Structure 1
Amino acid sequence: MVEAGPPRPLAVRLGRAAAGFADAIDQCGRLLVETGAVEEPYIAAMHERERSLTTHLGEGVAIPHGTTESRRFVRRSALVVVQFPDGVRWSDGGAVSLCVAIAAGARRADGSPDAAGAQHLGVLSALATVLMDPARARELREAPDEATVDRLLRSVEEDR
């Protein structure tokens, strides 16, 4: 059974610093690897994605993720959240203070899509909804704890 709404983050890291967007992507990718969601080559694919199209959504939020081809490195669909309070200059020149890194597209042993993989659309929908509300977007960027991040991503379901 697929859980309603966006999946909970596998890991949340608050109060981090990054030398630039490449370092921020590396931190997000390493966290996905550490949680067992992806294999190491997925990190390079996250950089490849960023070179082809910025993952900065606006309102200080980016969604680093791999390419379509990198799905073979996804062990299980997951997301991690990393906060950079001092901001990071992103590939498009914008300032990012929160990254929601997504690993989606895993397959089950029978070859069918991992049901949780479809939920990455729920994450994007939730983020878009939160970012359209400047107060919520600010609260997400400045979240003091993991519970606040989780509550904000899930608050979209309450609005429906």
Structure 2
Amino acid sequence: LADTYGITVYQEQVMLLSQKLAGFSKGDADVLRKAMGKKDRKTLDKMKGKFIEGASSKGHPADKLEKIWTDWEAFAQYAFNKSHSTCYAFVAYQTGYLKAHYPSEYMAAVLNHASDLDKITFFMEECKRMGLKVLGPDVNESQKGFAVNKKGE
């Protein structure tokens, strides 16, 4: 957990820790990962017993094991594997770059992909917050959907 400052962030870490702490096989660790991903309560309850028993037999204190398991259950609500997390981070970097360097074009694209009026309203407010002009329809310039005009507005 050194890479994540002692915090379980990736599914692979749960798998590795279950193997090291409780002696899970790679197969059992994968069953645990899948159960967390699917929020399969029945399998998770079964795996918890196996985890506590295995880790206790290796001398780990029960109170620490309960804390680890509680943390893992909370973690399961948003768990990702490392490769997906890396891809999402790259997409976040790209979209942040576009928003910072091409704000009008970025927001026009976001508004064109907004699926309902509440989202469009939210993003129109974001345009105002960013200091972008949002112009009404213009017979001479308007296109289908949201677009940036020749003046960059």
Range of TM-score over shorter length: under 0.3
**Higher relative contact order, chain-length normalized (CA < 8 Å, sep 6+):** 1
State the TM-score, normalizing by the size of structure 1: 0.27
Q: As a proportion of its length, which structure holds more strand?
A: 1
State the TM-score, normalizing by the size of structure 2: 0.27
Q: As a proportion of its length, which structure holds more helix?
A: 2
